[in-house]
Amino acid sequence: MLRALIGVGLLAITTLLVWFDRESYSDNTNGDGVNFIDALYYATVTVTTTGYGDITPVSAHARVINALIITPLRIVFLVLLVGTTLEVLATEGRRALIDAHWRKRMRNHIVVVGYGTKGRTAVSTLARNGRDISKVVVIDARPTAIADANLDGVAAIEGDATRRELLRRAEIAKAREVIITLDRDDSAILVTLTVRQLNPRAHVVVAVREDQNVSLLRQSGADSVVTSSDMVGRLLGMSAVSPNIGTTLEDLLTSGDGLEISERQVTPDEVGRNPSEITEERVIAVVRNKTLRRYFDPTVAKLEPGDELVVVRRSAGPGERPARDREIPIRYERGGALDDD
């Protein structure tokens, strides 16, 4: 923008110099003198080095002004034009190289579609739970959201996530998890359908505003659907019925303080034990053969290798992760195992 203003300023200065000294210029084509339009025309063809020669300075002082003032202005204009062109080409080339390098190494990453309040909170929760932020890619159509993501240290792509070419640019086919947090349910459904076509194995989590669209999103291929308005309403209702219950639920949903809910794989020393015998954490559910079973289900009275435990535990401090999570990361599967990097 600044360079464009400088260019316009150089053109205006040249035009005014010719206009105020118009009696010293000759129109060799029409022979009717030089008016303001002629002065603007002369300035344009002069600073761009076109130089048709139909309007020329005839007096000695006008030629001196052209040599000492207008010619340097022409040189500055050309340097500005060429410099801007080279910078744009260099920037685009560098961006293309960086993008190619990023796409080559990106695998088993997390794609977050929408970086509003929900998307930003989701990324923050991933970071608090030890997920590598360099493996997170944000897609949003708003420049302000892209700027926020970059400030948070997250790679971001600006554009409409319903476009296949944009999802391909984010290497959606290689993604392990996709989080969709859009403001409109119809857009969320369309993105979910597109994502599922491009990547049948990714674990897709979608935030939806209306409860009536949950079944439609599941049919579209979403693994988990969170009804934001319904959940907020329930939390408000529970807080009104019992402030203690509302505070506890809020505590579970807030990372970094008090209690938190998490999922991890069973450790070798826990195999064969009853979920109630694990005292460091409170086991509330067991995932066996991709089926969630409550802790009181008799089929999970004894833990087996490969089980995943849904637990309530004390929140880790800032930058701290429980040792169990560092040793055994969570794996999501859909139609086959996905290995961690």
| DSSP code per residue over 313-329 | EEPP-TT---HHHHHS-
pLDDT of residue 79 exceeding 70: yes
Measured distance CA(274)–CA(138) in Å, rounded:
41
Rounded to an integer, the average pLDDT of 7-19 is 85
Closest CA to 149 of 130, 133, 129, 161: 133
Long-range contacts of 66-72 (CB under 8 A, 24+ apart): 69/17, 70/14, 70/17, 70/46
For residue 195, with 0-12 CB atoms within 10 Å meaning exposed, 13-18 middle and 19 or more buried, which class applies?
buried
SS3 category, 172: helix
Q: Look up residue 282 and give its two tokens.
A: 């409170």
Percent of the chain with pLDDT over 70: 84
Query: pLDDT digits over 86-117, tens only?
Result: 777 776 666 566 566 666 677 889 999 999 88
Structure-model confidence comparison of residues 250 and 118, the more confident one:
118
| Sign of the Cα pseudo-torsion (137, 187, 224, 338, in order) | negative
Nearest-5° angle of CA 263, CA 269, CA 275? 50
Average pLDDT of the residues of the chain: 81
**Amino acid code (one letter) for 193:** L
Rounded to an integer, the average pLDDT of 208-217 is 86
Rounded to an integer, the average pLDDT of 153-161 is 88
Q: Report the predicted TM-score, pTM, of the whole model to 2 decimal places.
A: 0.56
pLDDT of residue 321: 53
pLDDT of residue 287 exceeding 70: yes
Are 229 and 201 contacting, i.e. CB atoms less than 8 angstroms apart?
Answer: no
Confidence band, pLDDT 50/70/90 cuts, at residue 336: very low
Rounded to an integer, the average pLDDT of 25-39 is 81
Are 186 and 212 contacting, i.e. CB atoms less than 8 angstroms apart?
Answer: no
Q: Look up residue 168 and give its two tokens.
A: 């391909």
pLDDT of residue 330 exceeding 50: no
pLDDT of residue 140: 93
Map out the domains of the chain with their CATH numbers: 2-102 (1.10.287.70), 107-231 (3.40.50.720), 256-341 (3.30.70.1450)
pLDDT of residue 331 exceeding 80: no
Percent of the chain with pLDDT over 90: 17
For residue 68, with 0-12 CB atoms within 10 Å meaning exposed, 13-18 middle and 19 or more buried, which class applies?
exposed
Element (H, E) at 243: helix 243-253
Q: Which residues contact 65 (CB under 8 A, 6 or more apart)?
A: 17, 21, 57
Structure-model confidence comparison of residues 194 and 31, the more confident one:
194
